[in-house]
Structure 1
């Protein structure tokens, strides 16, 4: 009989994954906002140009965070394929983000720095992030192909999560006797 993860376990794993994705995304958001405002306000670049530069910086930050933390137990065999797909789906997210900004700034005439930030970094980034979460977990950071690999991955995720909560105890020094257990054994 095949060992299957229960729906509850899968939902719990997805919630952990979404929380990690969100944490990486929050850091990328800070990079995105800081670079966007530095380019558009301090350097005086056009809003869309500033948005593209900012999103590109955040994409680099997010790739590293997602590959080495959020999806660290996922398939690592095709790094060039993974990086290419990550870039492709990130660029689609960038088009979503900056499309909302362009619509707001040029289409509706909301040209204040606050309006640009709300359009790009709240509405556009929110929609783009939903798309990225789905595409990254579905196409970029794939699960292993076989049930045995999936079980090994589930165990690795559980062990990694347990290690994050409770670091491994230090090994006993060689040659030292172990303390006696209660009851004289």
Structure 2
């Protein structure tokens, strides 16, 4: 039993049928969860130990690391039934869209820090760190994932390249 099948087996009916219809989305979200952990760990490590005065730079680097992992996982698992493009063309589109995604992911943190000035000395260190986490890791991640889900299906792995699989025996 695969990870997705095991996960689907835990979902009660009638929600299971809907989840099965949206297997690709579930896989995409699982990849997103994995890369969110990678992004969060890299962001926090960079922000605390290396780039303490440059949180946006730390966020951009973290998103880039997570994006490289995301390409491999999405290509080989989430969207494996799609194809048709040459690998270099597909990768170029993926990283172009992901580059735009970096801006989408980072924008909430930038707004939090530099528009709302949720940073020291205007707010306490605790407020600054909490705001950075919410803006960068929650709001930014949700906005970026929504954008990437739409763009990947529209441009990188579009419907016309779906490889139909035979029904399970």
TM-score (norm: length of structure 1):
0.71
Residues 87 and 32 (structure 1), Cα distance of their counterparts in 2 relative to 1, 3 Å cut:
same
Which residue does the alignment assign to 2:68?
60
Q: Tell me, yes or no, if structure 1 residue 154 matches structure 2 residue 154.
A: no
Which residue does the alignment assign to 1:51?
59
Superposed CA RMSD in Å reads 1.9
Residues 117 and 126 (structure 1), Cα distance of their counterparts in 2 relative to 1, 3 Å cut:
same
Pairing partner for 1:114 from 126, 130, 145: 130
Pairing partner for 1:125 from 137, 141, 153: 141
Which residue does the alignment assign to 1:142?
158
Q: Tell me, yes or no, if structure 1 residue 36 matches structure 2 residue 43.
A: yes
User: What secondary structure is seen at the aligned counterpart in 2 of 1:154?
Assistant: coil
CA distance in 2, matches of 1:63, 1:21: 11
User: Structure 1: which 4+ aligned runs deviate by more than 6 Å?
Assistant: none
| Unpaired runs of at least 5, structure 2 | 1-17, 120-127
Pairing partner for 2:30 from 11, 23, 45: 23
Which residue does the alignment assign to 1:170?
none
Which residue does the alignment assign to 1:5?
none
- CA drift of 1:47 comes to 0.7
- CA drift of 1:97 comes to 1.3
Aligned length: 143
- CA drift of 1:138 comes to 1.1
